[in-house]
Every structure is written in structure tokens, then in C-alpha cells.
Structure 1
């Protein structure tokens, strides 16, 4: 197959750009990669930069670029430590990949010689030069701090390491009319029930797909969310309306293990397929906003606040550790703002 690949930065994320002449076979092949996207402006396909994709494309992996056995052993020990502390697999992958990138940058330097100044240089010469996101910058700093503490028994002076200011981004919120249009767009009962349950209980995508029938307590009108973000269990109330919908869905679809299963019985519904379900609903509802599943959770919290629910209860329902996280919804609630009279009206 005649194609070329290079490492790029796209929207502050490291990715692999793959270019080739228009060919049906190559297009079908590149579409098999998870997270693949097409750039109309650059005229190439691009996929996440990870060891799996690098191997598939024949690009040296970050592991292969590490000539240092001490570094490789350190990363393996780092993974073992993270697993023993019950970090999520996503965090383990993010931290270990970040450390691979860092150690490749200093592949000619002994681990014991790396100090605070090297980390500052890496921040300036790699992260900032490549315009990588502030969140990635924070992740690499966190990873470096843990790595040296756990594998080198050294404490990095984090006061000297530059951390980016957190962007104060407001959550995206839909109106109740828009939510209703999205939830009523599908005639497929499973699709409609999944989207409705996310909004009606303020669920994260992963929380919805991890649900099992046993987690629905119809007698107490609650859903039990097991081992959700931060490894915390919590409960959310089920409205009579969503409970009736769940009963109808369960009778029609008869799930075996997970509440929402994909094409394979006993396996959870694929998150990417759920994103497609939402996109189809947006098209049918004629909503052009770049809505994601998380917008439904944000909308749930904001609508609760606007209907007079105490912020402390909303914090519990969403599973937030800090009230500061929940307070952000006060900035997008229109209940008080709409009562303010503009001086323009008096002109």
C-alpha cells in the first residue's frame, strides 16, 4: 500500500497524519483505526499517536525509541505501582505514555541525572513548542512527579515546575426544548432509552454502559452507580417516567448481563456506537450545535438548579468531590440572569 505517515499536533493533541492518493481499499483500511478523523483543510487522515497505531504503520514506537533499559524497567515498575494503587487503566496508559515521551526526549541522559531544570526545558522545548494542551501539560507534570517518587525515590520540587493556568470553561447546556427534541428523535426504543437515562439521571457515558439490570431498584426508584469516576458508588433517583420506559425496554430487549448490550450478547454497548446514536438524533432534531453526550449531563445539572434544587444535592447526584466543581453550573443558569432588566429597555 502506497501511503506516508508523520507525527503532527492537531487541536493541541499528538496524532499521526496518514496521506495517500484516493483509493477505496486504503480508505476502508484507515477507517478501521479507532479515533480516525479526516482533515478537509490538510487533506489527510489522522489517528491517535500511540504504540499500537505506530506498530500498525511501521513507525518506531516510543518504547523502541528508548535505548535505556533502566528507563524501560522504570516505566514497567511505574505501571505496577499505579495498578497496585488501583489507578484506572486509562490513567495508567496516559501516565506511562507521557513518561515514555519524556524519557525519549532525554534518551541520552541517565535517569539519575535528570533534575528540575530538565523538566522545565522539556516543558518549554517540547510541550510549548508543539502547542500541546494545558491538560496534557498538567498530566505530564503529575506523571513525572509520581514516576520519580515511586521508581527513583526522589522528590521533584514542583514549585519550580511551571503549571498552566486552568481555563475557566463554562459547561455547555441545552434548553429543555432542545433536550426534548433530542430524546424524542429516535423511534428505536433502546437508543431512546439510553439517551433518556443519561439526561434523567445526569450520567456519564461510562456509567450508563456499566449498568446492569440488578442496579435498577424499581421499589426504591433509584439506580445504583457502581465504581463510577473516582471509584465511588452513588445512587441517583429514577423518575416514574424513566422507570416506565426502562420496564418497556427490558421487556422488549431482555438484556442478559449489561442493561444495554451491543450486537454481542453479554457485552456492553460500544461507547463509539452511542456517540453515533446521539449524532443521528441531532440530525433528526435539526440541531446543529456540536452536542456531546456530556452536554446532557451538564443540562441535567443546570435544569435542576433552575428548578430550585439545592446545590449540595446536585453535588451528591453528580458524584462531585468538591462543591466548587458543582458551583460552575451557577454561571450558566439563566434563572437569575433572566430577571435582570437591561438598561437598554429604558432608553
Structure 2
């Protein structure tokens, strides 16, 4: 047996069995503030969305509330705000772990929890992006003139005249955020009303923040989520075995022994995933902010004689008519 000399796996955990994800130890000063991470702006946008949601208005008194397209947009806004808030809070937890690990107030193995939380924050952020698209669609559907154009966006035409708010739950009626969807929406919706929202979606889907988050989520979901860099793991060049080759480059066997080489395929992935999560959350909040402003500042008052919703006042929620 030939013992390898490059035993860089010595002292590296073979695997790690976590019994908890949170429960931080050490100095409370390690805990990040929302403002430290740029999340105070995310919080502001979520509050705007919650105010919009809780207005749950329907301008047309002849429409049943349970079938109101405007009220369904309110329901979606509340859903988006809650998920964006949860994604931001999960990202904060990941950074909290990062700081505790740097301060050595947590065991090194808790780095696995940091990356898991960052992955989870990204998963939820991607959900928010798709839901933003469907919010824009349903704001668009408040105009009956758009129904015929929206038929072409789905294979079964479920976003057209047959769609019923709160009742139509077909998979086909819920769109994904991608370039083709945005192009379709630009053809289907009146640009005079929805240009700002459509541009917010377009800029989001091509942004480096969205693309980086989408790639991590796609790799984890559709391919394979690599083991954490804390453990020995497995990649093409790791382990306690080593291929042997002759002078001509022909494989002649292998040597085995020692601690072997640790896997390196995940090196730096925890920090990268944490940073990508934060960037994506902040970018989504920007897009959501623009879409909300377009909805209450242009679409609603144009279609309903100046009616709008106050989502920026500190005194509460008010549905009122803008005076010319």
C-alpha cells in the first residue's frame, strides 16, 4: 500500500449531524440589525404591501367581494409581503451564524446551518419573484379589455375571460418570472397603465442578483446540492484513494491510505450563498416597491375615476379619491 503525502483531510469532519439550526450562543452584540444589512428598506416595502393588502377594496359595488379581482390583488400583496419578510429574516439568521462563527461563539459545524438558511432564503426569494409576476397579471386583469390578450399567455387560456378570482387555481393560470413571460405581458397589457410594473419585472429578471439566486436554486433543486465545505465530502479529486498513471498517461491502478484529500468543490459556497440571498432580497424589494407605486398611482386611479389607496401615510390605511 502506498500512503498519500497530501493528507489535507486530516482533522476535517467526515460528516456533521446537526440537532438544531438556530439557537445562537454568545454575545448578543453579534446579532445583526436590519439596518446593518439594508433590510430596513425591505421592511418599508413590506409595510406598504401590507397596507395595500388590508385595504381589500373593490371599487365596483355590484361585484361580489369573494370574486373581486382587486381584492385578489390585495391577497397576493399580503402573501408576497409575508414571504419577503420571512426570506429577509432567514437571511439575517444566516449572517448571524456567520458572525458567531467568526467570533468562535458557535461550533464550526454550525456553518452548515448558515448555508442551509441562506439556501432557504433564496428559495423563498425565488417564490416571491414568481408571485410578483402574478400580482402584475391580476392587476392587469382588473381591466376587462385585457382578458382577451391574456388568453395567449397560457396553453389553456385560463387567464382570459373564464378566470374567476379566488376560485381559478389551475397550474396554468400561475406564471413564472422569465424573459418570455415579461415579453408576453408587454403584448397583453396596456403600456399606458402598466409600463412601470412591466419594466420593473424586466429589470428584475435580467439583474445579476436574480440570475445568481436563480442559478443556486436551480442547481440545488434540479441537479445536486453539494455537501458543505466543513466536511470531507466527495468530489472528483477527494478521498483517500489516488489514481496512478504510467509515463504515457495510461491508468495503471490506484494508491490508498492516510487521511486522503478533502473535497474542495464547495469551497467558498457558504459565503457566496449568504451574499446572494441578501442581494436578491434587496433587489426584489426594489421591484415590488415600483410595482406597488404603479398600481396605486396609475392603474387604480386611471381605471376608477381617481380612486387610490394611501400606503405611505403613518396614520393608517385610507382608500380615497384623488381630486383633479
TM-score, length-scaled by structure 2: 0.23
Higher relative contact order structure (alpha carbons within 8 Å, sequence separation ≥ 6): 2
TM-score, length-scaled by structure 1: 0.22
Q: Which has the larger radius of gyration?
A: 2
